[in-house]
Amino acid sequence: MMVIAAVAAFSPIVVAKAYAFKLFGMTIFGEDQSESEQVPDPVRYSADLAVKTTDADLKKALEDSSRLVGDKDRPVSGDLGIVVKARDDRDRLIATLFEHARYGGVVTITVNGKNIDDLPPNPTFDRSKPIPVHVEIDPGPVFRVREVQFGGDAANRSPADYDLAPGQVAGSLAIIAAGDKIVEQLKSESRPLAKLTTRKAIADHRTSTVDVVIAAEGGPVAPIGDVGVTGEKSVKPTFIQRYSRLERGEAYSPEALKKASERLRALGVFSSVTILQADSLAGDGTLPMTIEVSEGKQRYFGVGANYSTIDGLGVQGYWGHRNLFGEAESLRIEGSVGRFGENDISNLDYSAGILFTKPGAFVPEATLKAGIVAKTENPDPYNASLITASLGISYELSDQDTASVSGEISYENDDDDAFGNNEYLTFALPLTYERDARDNRFNPTAGYRATLQATPSYEAFDSVIYSSFEGSITGYQAIGAEDNVVFAGKLAAGSLIGGELEQIAATRRFYAGGGGSVRGYGFQEISPRNDNGDETGGKSYVTASLEARVRITDTVGVVPFIDVGTVGPDEFPDFSDIRAGAGVGIRYATPFGPLRLDFAVPLNKYEDGASFGIYAGIGQSF
């Protein structure tokens, strides 16, 4: 993004000739050429809309529904094109009125002063100026539910459970949703052929009420039958069926099908996944189904960048293969260079690694992971060079819960301001439990995510046994009718038990500060100090963050935030040195997550420490 911005800033001639500037398929400025392409026999018109109501929400909904008004700056094709667009608009506006329980509403549209119903089949208009189009809407009264009748296998249900209690607003969407919900409930009883037999609404214009009739047929109870696979090319069909976890003889449920589709998509090897059900049961009373897949590109590569005024510029690159041996095995080779501008070239942060992932290892719920990573880290307290090899397995306990265990061995050489030059050979056994109950992993508005990790470790050179214990929880709560404000909070804590600080590798001690913890401070700037003022790292920490993510437009948001943290020299924090940073950020929504730009200042800075920080990246801060 910085490269693109630089080209735009330093190439005014090129920009002046450009019709529009696009980034990732989105028009950032200028007019999108595709929207102004010439249409055959173009005819321009002007349009206005008048709604006889004081209901602001209804008026906005109608204005948003009108394509005549929304597209008034775009020409139509031919004189008849205006009439066709007007008739389509009338149907759209009537549907919007029904959604708001206005069954007696009247939509009148005139073109060049004549009602569209009175125009000839092939009208002609004076094109010397835009043809005037006028839309007038009389919404009429709000209709309410009078009586609801449930029939067939939908009988004996309570209308209140479907937002159709007598006296409630009888919007068409509520009536449609009630029928759909009944069918889903019947299917969740392992009745895959459930269907609606009747769904109708009868409006009484004298009393402004609606009678609703909904009937359904559940059909027989049936388990899952044979599961076939189509569309695969290089991914083994036996793996697709096994990983979907749709087993012959198991109870049928729409939720099982939905989860099967989601987990197959999450593998990353398919561009689309559709699970098709047979229209009738097999001879043995089971329901056959087919998993239809379309494979995407298996090899991929990418580059990325992040920047902060404190930590400098970092660049990353990676190459990967999503289906190494035919069962969605993933191989990823990645590298990065960081802290450009903050360190000289001899003290930059380097990283290179090879990561292998095998989903469905041993059982469908298990994922095997192996990797080897070599890197250097050069924050102010220390310079570290290390190489780490790991092998582990994670297991899905449920849709939200995952447990994992791994073994790792790491060699590290540290040039430490506080403890001098030391070597460490560490064997560790990280044990992790995670619960993810967020509604969206990239931009959550509700739910929470919690992690717990215990890492027993043995440092071989000094024969020291110690363990680290860490936990974090993030929560999200949206407020407002359209979730325009999301409050997000994070609390994290950790403790190192056993060993002395100098016996523990620098990268395994605790620090805070930077874009991932307390913004406004330098990377790992928050730390206990020794008598010489050198940062030693700590054996305990607590950090907390609070953000208010305020959406200003559909794409732009503002985020005020405050971060707080403390790092202590002992196994449990004494909170004697609490550091806080505050600031504001800007978010720009994209299809792959929000672009983030944060500005923060330390509220109680260190002497000669950072005075502010600017951080850029992709995705929310947590």
Q: Enumerate domains of the chain plus CATH numbers.
A: 1-37 (no CATH), 41-138 (3.10.20.310), 144-217 (3.10.20.310), 224-295 (3.10.20.310), 299-618 (2.40.160.50)
Beta-carbon contacts of residue 104 (< 8 Å; ≥ 6 apart)? 140, 141, 143, 203, 205, 208
Q: Span 556-582, mean pLDDT? A: 95
The larger pLDDT score, comparing residue 346 to residue 575, is at: 575
pLDDT in the model for residue 482: 80
The larger pLDDT score, comparing residue 209 to residue 11, is at: 209
SS3 618: strand
Residue 474 has pLDDT above 80, yes or no: yes
The percent of the chain in helix, strand and coil, each rounded to the nearest 5, is: 15, 45, 35
For 229-274, how does the pLDDT look when each residue is reduced to its tens digit (9 = 90+)?
Answer: 999 999 999 999 999 999 999 999 999 999 999 999 999 999 999 9
For 285-297, how does the pLDDT look when each residue is reduced to its tens digit (9 = 90+)?
Answer: 999 999 999 999 9
pLDDT in the model for residue 443: 82
Compute CA distances 364 → 182, 382, 565, whole Å.
32, 43, 40
For 447-458, how does the pLDDT look when each residue is reduced to its tens digit (9 = 90+)?
Answer: 999 999 999 999
Residue 149 has pLDDT above 60, yes or no: yes
For 31-47, how does the pLDDT look when each residue is reduced to its tens digit (9 = 90+)?
Answer: 444 444 578 899 999 99
Q: Span 461-473, mean pLDDT? A: 97
Residue 67 has pLDDT above 80, yes or no: yes
The larger pLDDT score, comparing residue 590 to residue 146, is at: 146
Strands 131-138 and 45-51: parallel
pLDDT in the model for residue 20: 46
* DSSP character at residue 512: B
Q: Span 362-384, mean pLDDT? A: 94
Backbone angles phi, psi at 530, to 5 degrees: -90, -170
Mean pLDDT, all residues of the chain: 90
For 56, the token pair is 């602001």
pLDDT in the model for residue 68: 93
Residue that has been written with the tokens 């570290």 in this structure: 384
Per the CB < 8 A criterion, the answer to whether 154 and 128 are in contact is no
Q: Which helix (H) or strand (E) holds 460?
A: none
User: By percentage, how much of the chain surpasses pLDDT 90?
Assistant: 80
Residue 285 corresponds to which amino acid?
Answer: G
pLDDT in the model for residue 346: 67
Helices (H), 245-307: 254-266
Annotate 532-565 with DSSP letters as a single string.
TS-B--BSEEEEEEEEEEEESSSSEEEEEEEEEE
Which of the residue ranges 12-16, 148-152, 195-199, 265-269 would you say has the lowest mean pLDDT?
12-16
Residue that has been written with the tokens 């409006």 in this structure: 203
